[in-house]
Amino acid sequence: MYRYDIIEKIGEGNKGEVYKAKLENGKIVAIKWAKNYDIDKEWEILKFLNGKIAPKPLFRGSRYFAMEYIDAKPLKEFLNTPTYYLIIKQSLYNAYLLDKLGVNHSQLGRYYHILFNKEVRFIDFERASFKNPRNFLQIIGYYLFRDEKFDINKLKAITNLYKTNKKQALKNIIRLIDESVN
């Protein structure tokens, strides 16, 4: 059993609460407490990802688990800044990797599930699954289709290409972002 002290609440949703905590050894972690859901699935997905793209899981109890604390800001705080499109490009790459790994996050259209501090990390995998990964398409649909800087027909062509050639679609979307925002 690990001993920890709660520092502060850092997030809350319908299904859980997240706290910043300090372990006995001084390490800062995030603790996620389940309000009304079984944490097993989220724990298994985080273990599978093992710190790639998402927080690394550390230990768990029956209704909570501890994971790496990500000291970063949500995507929403970067709206209308030069960093925003850099984050979108990194998010698309991470989404492509998640798709290749077979994990569907399902909520990447929420600004606060994408964090940035030198690199992009995704959080909150409570609704994630190992079925029908569509992370890449989710990010294009939520962030770029709504952005007037992008030609809808070009975006549609890239989403169609993604179904048959994911790597080329990733290259094409990065090129399109670079051309559209510079």
Q: Pick left, alpha or beta for residue 102 (phi over 0 → left; psi -120 to 50 → alpha; otherwise beta).
A: left
pLDDT in tens, 35-57: 888 899 999 999 999 999 999 99
DSSP secondary structure letter of residue 142: I
| Residuewise pLDDT in 10s, the chain (182 residues) | 678 999 999 998 888 899 999 999 999 999 999 988 889 999 999 999 999 999 999 999 999 999 999 999 999 999 999 899 999 999 999 999 999 999 999 999 989 999 999 999 999 999 999 999 999 999 999 999 999 999 999 999 999 999 999 999 999 999 999 999 87
Backbone φ and ψ for 19, nearest 5 degrees, come out as -125, 145
User: What does pTM read for this prediction?
Assistant: 0.93
Rounded Cα–Cα distance for residues 121 and 130 (Å): 19
Q: Which residue type is seen at 109?
A: G
Question: 3-class DSSP state for residue 29?
Answer: strand
125-128, long-range: CB within 8 Å, 24+ apart, which pairs?
125/42, 125/45, 125/46, 125/54, 126/13, 126/15, 126/16, 126/37, 126/39, 126/41, 126/42, 128/41, 128/42, 128/45, 128/103, 128/104
